[in-house]
Every structure is written in structure tokens, then in C-alpha cells.
Homo-oligomer: A and B are copies of this chain.
Amino acid sequence: MTAEDDAEVFQVLAAQLENEGSLSTPSPSDSELHELDPNVVPADVRAALEAILLVASDPVAPTVLAQLLEVSVETVDALCEYLTDSYAQEERGFTINRVAGGYRYQTSDAQAPYVERFVLEGQATRLSAAALETLAIVAYKQPVSRAQISSIRGVNVDSVARTLQQRGYIEEVGRDSGPGNAAMYGTTTRFLERIGLDSLRDLPNLSDFVPDAEVVETLEVVLRGASEAAEFRDTDGSAPDLSSPT
């Protein structure tokens, strides 16, 4: 490659920059070329944001970042979004993610296989179906007691609730005022980090999971089924044969 080639590339970029005001196409990219408008956000603020997030061990709230960097929360949000995009474009091994109410550095998804080889402990253990269902109930119904969870799941949930508490996904958030003062449970920040959500508001709508009419009908029909079947058999006059369809 010669300097002439580079010059050519540059001409293309400069023209694009003038026409569109941004270099958003997957063209030859240099990170220095995709910069936020330096009049709005000085480069050192961007670098400062990177530095702070690098030393934070938990997600940092945008308000905290705004205060430290002496810019608005909107600027913080825009900056983080910009950095996320540019890291992706530069195929970096890391990204900035918004989770559990703040921003944090994390490895990019594509690098997971390498990171897994390196990270021996602290790997997220797989959640069992029982644990996930219990978590879902706590997430949507919090504060909720173990008895309430049991009644929904139809099984005793004591051991699974204890496991979830030990892993730090749920915690006791209070006591029921009724008889027995049952412990009431809620989800933790750690839970949000685990499922990668910014806040509980970002949970999918529970109404999305309500079984559709067809399922409801099937259930109704089966629960009602025997009686109608019996009537049918009665008119038939034959002895009810319970093992095969009439």
C-alpha cells in the first residue's frame, strides 16, 4: 500500500464527512475519524469517561458520571452510546453496556469463548428451569412470599428460593404484616446484571406470556371435558368406556 492509496481513501472520507456530517458507513475507518463533535464534548471528557468506567467495579450511574465529568446526563448517555458504536466498529474486545442502572465495561460477545477459557471462577452457573420460574415470579410479583411462589408453581420452592438467595439474585425485602410474618422476597441488582437489564421496567410485559385463547380453550375443554363426554355417552345408551373414545 502506498501513500497515494491512503490519500485516495482520505478523499472519499472527507467528501462523505462534508456531505453527510458523519462517517457511518462501513468504509475504511480510523477511530480518530469518527469523533464526536469536539466543540460539544472535548476529547478529554471522553477519555475521562473511559478511565472512570475502567476502574469502576460496579455499573456507574449516569448521574455520577455526569457529576464527575461536569457534563449533562444526556451528554453522558450520548458519549456512552458513541463509544459503544465505535468500539463495535473497531472490533474491540470490549464494549460499554448499560445494565442495572449504570454503565460498565464488559467483554464483547464475540470474545466469550476466549474469556471463558481464562475466567475459571465466577462464571455464571446455568440456572435451572425451576430457578428461572421462581425468579420470574419474584421479578414480576415482588414483594412476594415463598408460600405465594409455591402456590403459583404448584411445588414447594423452599430449596430453590434458598439457592437463589445464596447466589444473590433474590433477597428478603421485608416481612408480611399478616400472621406468621412471612419473609417477602424481591430481586437484587445482581439479578439485573445477570439478565443484562437496566431496570425492572425493562422486563418484558407479563401480558405477553398469558396463554393465548387456544390454550385457554383447550384447558377449559379438558377440565370440563369429562362431563360433556358423559352426556354424549348417555345419549348413546352404551356403557361408558373410559379408556377409549366413543
Number of this chain's copies in the complex: 2
Contact B111–A47 (Cβ < 8 Å)? yes
Report the nearest B residue to A241, measured CB to CB: B158
Contact A14–B6 (Cβ < 8 Å)? yes
Interface status of A33 (Cβ within 8 A of chain B): yes
- In the complex the two chains form, what is the Cα distance from A228 to B12 in whole Å? 80
A92-B50 contact given A37-B1, A162-B238, CB 8 Å threshold: yes
What B residues does A239 contact at CB under 8 A? 162
Report the nearest B residue to A50, measured CB to CB: B93
What B residues does A166 contact at CB under 8 A? 57, 150, 154-156
| Interface residue ranges, A against B (CB under 8 Å) | 1, 3, 5-10, 12-14, 17-18, 23-35, 37-38, 43-44, 46-52, 54-58, 60, 64, 67-69, 89-94, 105-108, 110-111, 114-115, 117-119, 121-122, 146, 150, 154-156, 158-159, 162-163, 165-168, 171, 183, 190, 238-239, 241, 243-244
